[in-house]
Chain A
Amino acid sequence: MSEVDYTLRRQVQEVSNLVIRLSEQVGSVSGQVSTVEANQHQTRTELQQLRDEFLAFVQQAQATANVQRAETRIGAIEDKIDHEFGHHKTVRRTAVGMLQAFDIGLVSEDNVRMVGDQLMLQTPRYWLAPALVALASWSADDRTLCERAVDEAFRRSPDRTSLFFALVLRRQGRAEGAVRWLRHYLLAQDPAALGREFAVILEAIAQGAFGLVGRELLDRTLAEWRNQLMDSADAQAKQVRRWRDELESLRGPSQAAEFPRLAALSPQWLTLDGVLSSARGQQPVLDKYKAIMEREFQPSERIEDAVDDILDRLVSEYDNEELPLRRDLAFNQAVVDHDGDLTSARKTADADAASYEETLDYLTVQTTAALNPQAIGTSPATQRLSVAACHEWFRQAHAAHTRDYRAAVPQDVQAQFATSHSVGSQLFQLPTWVGSFTQPLATLEKSLSDHWDRYTGPFVDALAFPWLKKVAPLAGVVAAILLFLAGSFPLFAIGSAAIVALVWGLILRNQAQTAKRAQDAARELLTRAKTESLHQLRGASAELTDWYEKFTSADQTETKVRELIATLPTAGGGASPFEGRTVRKENAPEDSAQEDAVPPAAPWQSASASSSRKESGPEAKAGQENSSESQEDSAR
């Protein structure tokens, strides 16, 4: 009996040793598992970080590739333009060169004619070549040839030829003939579909190139056009839209780095960000237009220089067949300017698409001269006048832009929390909490804290060791041992029951301690998370106050922009924006003659002094040409 008892006890002892060892091993495995878990967590964080960095890198690489491609394209397009239209350049240069050569009388007529003939042969289909032949034959007093050449130039490009001769005659002091060509040009124009060369008229106004009579004519015509077009609400709305696009393009970048907590917590962040970007756009608008209006510009001293500048612009303005290439060029340039951001580049290019149309209405010409003078080839002086002329659209667009972003400020900015934490082997998920910053901060904090407590309490409690559930089987086993064995082996039954109870109890105690530790850890972790989220809430609230301050201060610049726009109508000089400077041709030569004591050697003037025949020839002829052209045109 005692032997059996002894063997049994030893075996029970062994079993209990095994159980203890097993429990130790389980403990060590559980330690390893938590290490693995920590490692995995770390790995996941690093992976996430790596992914973010990788995405940023991809974006960066994409942008760089875009910029490089755009730069290559720019080179290719410029080459193509040069290749296809490069020969026009020679003609363009020769035109102004020829006029200047006439001024100083250095080149023989034969040479001028020869060059004219040569260019006529080399540049087929280009309007300027016959115009040059006309100039050369005019100076050589060859009337029939001159008429035929003017005819041909007029056939190739009536508008440009009219303008060209108006300017040339103006340059040579034939005011009457110049104004006749000009009137002729203006009459043929439809204000709703002007050719691209019309920008030259604006330029001439800015430079005061057409003298008093010409200016009156232009004033009258343009005012009439303006009234005609302003009747259409659509045309106006289009211009206002264009100015809106300009204002939007000057918006600031995203401010997420400045308000990190607000950006992370508030569902309204995107709106807030957009609003602040728009408000911060006021300062660039102010700076840009102040600079434009205050820019010093040096008017040319002599009418010849002024007209030469304008002629340069007229002849170097892109011809219609160049436009597709120019449009492509503008887009690629925008890609480079936006550092490879294709979306913004497309937006900029689209906003400016009107500048590269074949025909423009008068209002668009003016807006383009104000917003993108390069696109139609006008000077900063013209830009200034045009900005002044567009003040009404600028004002409307600015007021609407400001109203829109002000109205977009969210009435109710909220904070939103929803987190999950892995506690040991379990995942704690905090359901979404939403609070509005219109509440006082203390109320918000209390609400968030209550929200945490409401969900963390039951979660932590659930981690407690379930004594009742665990002890019940033990009690059952002990009772069973006592029940079955007590009758036959009472001592053994009591002994084994005690041993089982002891061993099992030890194991349970071990488990309970582990559970307690886990519970404590969870409680601590969640308390930390709660404190952290309260900090974030406080931080976001502070950032929101900061945001309001920054928004208000950025928004205050609006008044200054409004004041600047209000000064535009008078800043252009004179009540009408078309009252440009007038260069007085009549006095200029006398003045310079007196000052420099070197008489200007313009061929027609020197000719008028020396030979009356030569002087009267071209002038009379020019007048006749003009009148015959006018008649022809009206007949057409």
Chain B
Amino acid sequence: MGNTERPRRIVQSAQQGPGIQPGLGAQRGAAPANPAPAALRRELYTARSRKLLDAVGRLDAGLDEQACRSLAEWVREQYTTAYGSVPLGFVARCYLGPPYVDHQLNLFHVIVRHFAPAEPMPEPFSAARMLARSGGYAYVEVYDDGLILPVLDDGTVVRP
């Protein structure tokens, strides 16, 4: 019982792939796979805005599906315009209480999944888990090329 996964909220229907609904997103998602030029990388390492931090924090705050989807859309938009590449999703500490310790937010499926310590998180999110659980970061961004960027509470990004 304690070990079963509990998808709390699935906004999009499961058969919709990451590229179907957010057509742009698929392209953006592919962007970081290319070796990004230094300028692009530098953009990616600039501090995240307060509004963005709040928005990501709200993604799991129990909004209804529509609100959540539009919020995710806004977050994706922000990442594209301000930082040049969109993360696959986020891993953050979970405050639901036992047995959950952390959760994963997938920007493309807009899924929030909560995990107990014994449950394995899918790759590439797994590597960000202990960072999120340490409680030292607001959230941890996970990119599809395996890049992991922890974001501090003041929005600063820890460079790889």
Contact = CB atoms under 8 A, between A and B. Distances in A.
B53 interface: no
Contacts of A49: none
A562 B38 CA distance: 26
Interface stretch (B27-35, B70-78, B81-89, B122-130): B122-130
Given A396-B159, A399-B158, A400-B158, A407 B130 contact: yes
B118 A406 contact: no
Nearest to B156: A399
A439 interface: yes
B134 interface: yes
Q: How large, as a class, is the contact surface on chain B?
A: 20 to 34
Contacts of B117: 411, 438
Given A233-B38, A436-B118, A438-B117, A407 B131 contact: yes
A483 interface: no
A436 B119 CA distance: 12
B91 to A, nearest CB: 11
B52 interface: no
A203 interface: no
Nearest to A566: B154
B118 to A, nearest CB: 4
B122 to A, nearest CB: 13
Q: How large, as a class, is the contact surface on chain A?
A: 20 to 34
B131 A403 contact: yes
B150 interface: yes
B159 A409 contact: no
Contacts of B38: 233
Nearest to B153: A559
B17 interface: no
A334 to B, nearest CB: 30
B134 A399 contact: no
B136 A558 contact: yes
B156 to A, nearest CB: 7
Contacts of A559: 136
A410 B117 CA distance: 11
Interface in B136-160: 136, 148, 150, 152, 156, 158-160
Contacts of A399: 152, 156, 158-159
Contacts of B133: 409
Interface in A379-408: 396, 399-400, 402-403, 406-408
Contacts of A396: 159
Contacts of A403: 131, 150, 158
A406 B159 contact: no
Contacts of B150: 403
B45 to A, nearest CB: 10
Contacts of A562: 152
Interface string A402-422: 110011111110000000000
A559 B133 CA distance: 16
Contact of B118 (A407, A409, A438, A558): A438
Contact of A409 (B120, B126, B134, B152): B134
A552 B135 CA distance: 9
Given A407-B148, A409-B130, 17 more contacts: A399-B152, A400-B160, A402-B136, A403-B131, A403-B150, A406-B130, A406-B131, A406-B136, A408-B130, A409-B133, A411-B117, A411-B126, A411-B129, A412-B118, A555-B134, A555-B136, A562-B152
Leading 5 A-B pairs by shortest Cβ distance: A438-B118, A399-B158, A406-B134, A409-B130, A438-B117
Interface of A: 233, 396, 399-400, 402-403, 406-412, 436, 438-439, 552, 555, 558-559, 562
